Amino acid sequence: MLTAPMLRGDDVTELQNGLNHLGFDCGRPDGIFGPATGRALDDFQRNSGLRADGICGQQTVRTIQLVSRQSGTGPGVASIRETEVFRVQASMSAQRVVVGQFGGLSSIARSVRRGLREAGANVMPTDEYEATAQAAAANRFGATVYLGLEALTERASTVSYFAVPSFESIGGRSLATQIVNALHGALDCPPELSGMRLPVLRETRMPAVLCSMGPVRDVIGASQEITDALIRAVVAWSDAPFIVADTASD
């Protein structure tokens, strides 16, 4: 059992390698149970539905081993928790959607929330500045999906979902692909699909997507087209949340 900060040894190195493999960043595996390892362990426990006590006991070890045996698109932490979420019937009326934005795109976020409510979803807004705060809000709400909007200063557009080398969020990739396809034609800069380990994607306990678009003036100018595209994508995704379509550029 690993409990004490600054504990050293091969067991700590093995823990660090396991957490790093799963996308919970301990930094360079050095065999020292320092602050970075403690934070990564706490994050893993929260994301896996375990008690986040910072103690690497038998249950935590078994969970790390179980998830680590998976590879590619197999059921890692994200896929395990998504499977639990989608035991409910796939439909808009079953969706609890959190729509967040990080400044500059509040009008689009409001319109998307309104459209999703009209489509039958239970929708909650969040405008917290910190990504971890938005993830925590989505978790408290018991969301089935998180959609984040981020304004960029440069001309670029990226739709991100949670992914690390060992596994990815299938539900997140499915929604991100729907959004990329829906946004084609709505933006001057065609959106790129990207698997990332951003905190708001990693710390949510449901499929999560972050849409980063810029510059703000151009995005606001196309707000109606973007709003309609995002609503269409979420509605289409809710019918088959684990089916990943080809992107428009494929």
Q: Which domains are delineated in the chain?
A: 10-69 (1.10.101.10), 81-239 (3.40.630.40)
The answer to whether the CB of 97 falls within 8 A of the CB of 123 is: yes
Per-residue pLDDT, 78: 45
Each residue's pLDDT tens digit, 176-195: 999 999 998 888 888 999 99
101-113 average pLDDT score: 95
* Residue at token pair 């969706």: 95
The lowest-confidence range among 3-12, 74-83, 124-133 is 74-83
CB atoms within 10 A of CB 217: 9
Give start and end residues of each alpha helix (H) in the chain.
10-21, 35-47, 58-68, 77-85, 106-118, 131-141, 170-183, 199-202, 216-221, 223-239
213-238 average pLDDT score: 95
Angstrom distance (rounded) from CA 114 to CA 15: 45
Which amino acid, one-letter code, is at 120?
G
| Rounded CA Rg of the chain | 19
**Better-scored residue on pLDDT, 65 or 214:** 214
Answer whether residue 233 shows pLDDT above 90.
yes
